[in-house]
Amino acid sequence: MYSGSSDGEGHEAAQRKIPPASSMLWVRNLRRFIGSGTGLGSEALMELETKRILLDIFKEKQQKSAEAGTIPSFYKKKPEDGSISHRVQRLAKYRFLKKQSDLLLNADDLDAMWVCLRENCVIDDATGAEKMNYEDFCHIASVCTEQIGPKCRRFFSPSNFMKFEKDEQGRIAILPFYLYVMRTVSLTQARIDMSELDEDSDGFLQPQEMEAYIRGLIPNLAQLRDMPASFVQMYCRIAAQKFFFFCDPHRRGKACIKKVLLSNCLQELMELHQESEEEVTDTEQAENWFSMASAKRVCDIFILLDKDNNGTLSKQELREYADGALTEIIIERVFDEHVRRGKVGGASSREMDFDSYLDFVLALENKDTPEGLTYLFRCLDLNGRGYLTTADIHSLFRDVHQKWIEGGNYELCIEDVRDEIWDMVKPADPLRITLADLLACKQGGTVASMLIDVRGFWAHDNRENLLQEEEEPEEES
């Protein structure tokens, strides 16, 4: 009935009769209806409004960039508190930190990993150490992933295995690897905790934020759990000041979180995790700035020096520090360089507040560190020239010599001491000593002690006898 040619012609005719979509009335009406937005739901309307706002912002930025030329923007105003931008930023930070926290190993996970390591390692016949080769390493990774989950897998990468010292058979000890995992987890958790306290999310902590971080650690530190509630605020202030002394060298009032995490201060604070103070000697407690004994000692000395109980120290009061062993000239220089001038009164009315006092004590107790030596060098540099001359050394040691003679010691020649200091430092310029020279000679702390403290000079003068006294108890034991 129908031939092939007639069928094809009918199909082509049908195609020609179908009008284009744009000419259909219902299509035009639907497009007009959607374009007006009257038929959209609330979510769709919100989406359209968001796109419009973002497009306006984009056009505004393009216009500003065109007007500014090639100069890039270097300042971005922070969102105001309570604004939508501020709320979105805080929510985004909270979700990100929560996600990072969920990826961390907890205490049970770490215990399970240690069990896996010990059960699948081999004992070195020569040393008795527990070790594993790369095959054991991969097998332990599989076992830990089954028991703990995929979050432990990142620690078992080939690059991590290559970080550790290997024996002749290519094996690594399991203990250093486990300590590496624990330290990584601890530092990551510390960074998350600090980031949560960083209100403006700039990667820095303000003093009050650092104090809040330390306050949150106190219940978890075995040696600080029994701290009296009345002393907590003062302790946090004392502890936080060390972080700022070492991590805020320019005294901007904020410490970089990355520097805090990599500093020895955090490691020293975490040493208080030890369950019993009996495991720590009295000397170690006194040397740890964050111990209860050290914090109370520093606070008690300040209270003892503050004769008029006004919360600050005058020059006369500071002279009594260390039983008056510091020289008169160094006390004057400390006030000149490191004590802020008062709003009223002249230089004579200046007094040292508690934070400045903490910096002063930290500098004296850490003279061998770059931060402590930098603090003291500013005091030693009498003329602010950035270097010390033979005349400066003579002027500084003259007060030490006077206290030395008043203490009933033998007569000594100031020029001989000056020459000895020059021999110790070996400055690049034979006529002057710079801070870089003191840091390079590795004896900068000793030199500073000789010039500011009669006890420091006595310790240097009797160093051989003191060293012998330290060695004798070791031989007897």
The span from the CA of 193 to the CA of 196, in Å, is: 5
The pLDDT, as a whole number, for residue 331 is: 95
The pLDDT, as a whole number, for residue 1 is: 41
Q: What residue type is 417 in one-letter code?
A: V
The span from the CA of 139 to the CA of 116, in Å, is: 10
The pLDDT, as a whole number, for residue 69 is: 63
- C-alpha triplet 286, 292, 294: angle, nearest 5°: 35
Kindly provide the b/e burial profile for residues 415-450, where b requires at least 16 CB atoms within 10 angstroms of the residue's own CB. eebbeebbebbebeeeeebbbebbeeeebbbbbbbb
Evaluate whether 86 touches 199 at the Cβ level (below 8 Å): no
The tokens describing 452, both together, are 């500011």
Evaluate whether 37 touches 48 at the Cβ level (below 8 Å): yes
Say if domain 305-339+349-466 classifies as CATH 1.10.357.10: no
The span from the CA of 263 to the CA of 223, in Å, is: 21
Per-residue pLDDT tens digits for 108-148:
999 999 999 999 999 988 888 999 999 999 999 999 999 99
Q: CA torsion sign, 290 to 291 to 297 to 300?
A: positive
- C-alpha triplet 309, 353, 393: angle, nearest 5°: 115
| Its pTM surpasses 0.85 | no
Per-residue pLDDT tens digits for 35-65:
555 555 667 777 788 888 888 888 888 887 7
The second-level CATH assignment, the architecture, of 197-273+282-290 is: Orthogonal Bundle (1.10)
Nearest CA to 117 among 104, 107, 131, 127?
131
The span from the CA of 370 to the CA of 249, in Å, is: 10
The tokens describing 275, both together, are 């369950």
The pLDDT, as a whole number, for residue 21 is: 54
Stretches in the chain below the pLDDT threshold 50: 1-6, 11, 14-15, 277, 343-345, 347, 477
The span from the CA of 227 to the CA of 233, in Å, is: 11
Q: Which residues contact 417 (CB under 8 A, 6 or more apart)?
A: 397, 401, 450, 457
The pLDDT, as a whole number, for residue 349 is: 67
Q: Which residues contact 349 (CB under 8 A, 6 or more apart)?
A: 342
The pLDDT, as a whole number, for residue 76 is: 73
